[in-house]
Amino acid sequence: MDYLAGLNQAQRAAVEQTEGPVMIVAGAGSGKTRVITYRVAHLIRKGVDPFNILVLTFTNKAAKEMRERITSVVGAEARNIWMGTFHSVFSRILRVEAELIGYPKNFTIYDSDDTKSLIRAIIKEMNLDDKLYNANHVYGRISSAKNNLISPQEYNKNEAIMAEDIANGRGQLGQIYMTYAQRCYRAGAMDFDDLLFKTNVLLNKHPDVLHKYQHQFKYLMVDEYQDTNFSQYLIVKRLAAVNENICVVGDDAQSIYAFRGANIQNILNFQKDYPDVQVFKLEQNYRSTKMIVNAANSVIEKNQNQLEKNVFSENEDGDKIKVTRAFSDNEEGKIVAEAISQERSLKGLKYKDFAILYRTNAQSRAMEEALRKLNVPYKLYGGTSFYQRKEIKDLIAYFRLTFNPNDEEALKRVINYPRRGIGDTSVEKIMVAADKQQYRLWDVVVNAQMFLDGRSATAVGNFGLMIQSFQATAKSNSAFDTAMHIAQHSGILKDLYEDKSVEGLNRYENIQELLNGIKEFSEREDIEDKGLDVFMQDIALLTNDDNDKDPNADTVSLMTIHSSKGLEFPVVFIVGLEENLFPSQLSLNSRSELEEERRLFYVAVTRAEKKLHLSYATSRYRWGTLNNCEPSRFLDELNPACLELDFQPRSVSTGMDAGFQSERIAWKQKEGDTFSKPKPKGVKTTSILPKAHIPTEGFAPSDTSGLQVGMEVEHERFGFGKVVSLEGNKPDIKATIFFKELGQKQLLLKFAKLRVI
């Protein structure tokens, strides 16, 4: 039992309670991964067969880390645990059982690009407005329906759903969903949401299959339970119904994925689902300083809907949290870049010790420009991952066709790449013939002489023969040999090799890297089945968190706060702390939305180990207009004892500290109105925001096409000013205007809404 010696009392109690329903409420930095891995190891040490243990995670990275830790305790037996993401585990089950619900065992898994491509094709076929029926919006609507287990048939019968679509001018969404589902079925394909949706269908329609897995998985553990959606919740509940040896681990304070369908009520109501549950709270934060933990607690305590816990730290007190005010987003970037360079030099840190977190991807621009000017290396998270690059997706499409020739998205992608004389007209004829005869596209391809004429029939027929030759090769060769054969004989390697541009060379090297990865897979000793189709399953299930970032690269990390969950850095900068940006303007319609934004801020704060910097700008461009910005309410909610203002507040104070307290008063002041709390005697305050301009009665923007230097103008918010200069060409003319109250600003005329005086 030596492996339990390093656990604290709460952690050890959670590990040793192996029977019955258990909920582990794990605060930020409380060692939950250690508890999960040791709990699984403890089960095996007690004699539980690893084949009877199911562990569900949200990233492949987390599953890999846990398996490695369990192996260090129990040895090679850890290989036999059913462990992985929801999607990887249940795709594995579907590979075995898919034929029961009408799918081939070698079904293709569509990624988001495949899905959107198919949706766009359906929208075009239905002659719908692709701006109104935006593929991203339609995809999101279908995804939401599946996550709530609403089938296409149920969607089209639901009067409330249909009424909502009609009210939004998208009355054909239900038909698109129906057609999309039919096309996926015909192609023998499932998208990511289907892997859970179809698992629910399987377990619901086939009680014998449900019984089989209920008795196989005698012990269930679910990581990040606060992030589960309804579909995931129902699968777990069904599988645990017989033995009820279910352990969920999570932190309601870090539930930040409602936009993906996550339902915080799953963890909040767990005690109602299992009245005899035993609850363990991991409240000691091992990651952060006391200052950071206390600051995080002071914000999250404002949420009403949460599980009670008292997170604390026994680490050093640490530095106060620096709050910086910038006059623009560009100045904010400059301040952050300079602070990183300075702290790295003075404290002997590496670039990889720093992270910059923001609410939206667009905020990275100012940060990137400032870092480049100071030659600070950085890595931007959320960019195009290796497996999303065009050349990689092209070769993988050939692999997909080899194992599932009914995969229509793969077929359309490569039927004329590299070019082989099969133009858009020929592809259109194939699709029309397939629809008319109710055939699959592949059926038309292999019988091309029946449906096409002349050269196109020959070219399409030869393409079909090539794919059939790949299928024969795959049956008798290793994953690597098959992949190399396809890369060579498809013409992709030759096509990329002949492109001598820098981009062409990079694409060729990327294909080589993919083949290297397949070679490495072929030589692994920890798996028995090393076919190319198995490799395909693995890469199809990679999540956004598993892309090709080098963890050892000495670079500053830039990412959205959503992407930062589960990570930690010695020094963290949270930028753009302004109202309507963070919290987002879209989250201010209800208490539940605002509380999710506050949890997002809590996640950001708790990524920091040693040092935390917060910053905001007093002005930021939006749609070509410079807008005044109000500091985020989250700054106001932080315990002022934890903060250090890295600027002089614009207040004159007597009788009280002229630091953060007077700045808070200024933050509370709303455009000249008195704030709700009484002013301390003798204190004068001036808002850090410019005083609001009251527009002239009957204010209406003028036609500015004839605007000239020297003219006087009025802006609805900035007040009165004089045109200093004009530059650019219509319709993108920029005017530099000196405003009496604010000074000089540059505005894009087509958005500026100026009244010429």
Q: Which residues are annotated as a binding site for ATP?
A: 26-33
Cα(570)–Cα(340) distance, integer angstroms: 12
- Would you state the structure tokens that stand for residue 516, as one six-digit string? 């290297």
CA neighbours closer than 13 Å in the CB half-sphere of residue 451 = 25
Cα(728)–Cα(722) distance, integer angstroms: 18
**Phi first, then psi: what are they for 562, rounded to 5°?**
-60, -40
Strands 321-326 and 278-282: unpaired
Q: 706: which strand partners?
A: none
Instruction: Give which of 617, 753, 683 is closest to 327, Cα–Cα.
Output: 617
| From 16, 17, 18, 33, the catalytic residue | 33
Cα(247)–Cα(261) distance, integer angstroms: 22
Cα(145)–Cα(269) distance, integer angstroms: 22
DSSP 376: -
Q: Is there a catalytic annotation at residue 79?
A: no
DSSP alpha helices (H): ranges in 550-590?
A: 561-564
Instruction: Give which of 281, 273, 274, 276 is closest to 307, Cα–Cα.
Output: 281
Q: Is there a catalytic annotation at residue 500?
A: no
Q: Is there a catalytic annotation at residue 32?
A: yes
| From 165, 191, 194, 224, the catalytic residue | 224
Please give the helix or strand (H or E) that residue 572 lies within, else none.
strand 569-574
Residue with tokens 């920029």: 734
Cα(323)–Cα(332) distance, integer angstroms: 12
Cα(191)–Cα(94) distance, integer angstroms: 13
| From 32, 146, 598, 610, the catalytic residue | 32
Cα(524)–Cα(530) distance, integer angstroms: 8
Q: Is there a catalytic annotation at residue 391?
A: no
| From 111, 193, 223, 391, the catalytic residue | 223
Q: Is there a catalytic annotation at residue 223?
A: yes
**C-alpha distances out from residue 161 to 137, 263, 585, Å:** 15, 20, 26
**Phi first, then psi: what are they for 723, rounded to 5°?**
-70, 120
| From 198, 325, 599, 607, the catalytic residue | 607
Q: How far is CA 93 from the centre of its chain?
A: 25
Strand arrangement of the beta sheet that strand 569-574 belongs to: 378-380, 556-560, 354-358, 569-574, 608-617, 321-326, 643-645
| From 115, 179, 254, 685, the catalytic residue | 254
Q: How far is CA 322 from the centre of its chain?
A: 28
Residues with catalytic roles: 32-33, 223-224, 254, 607
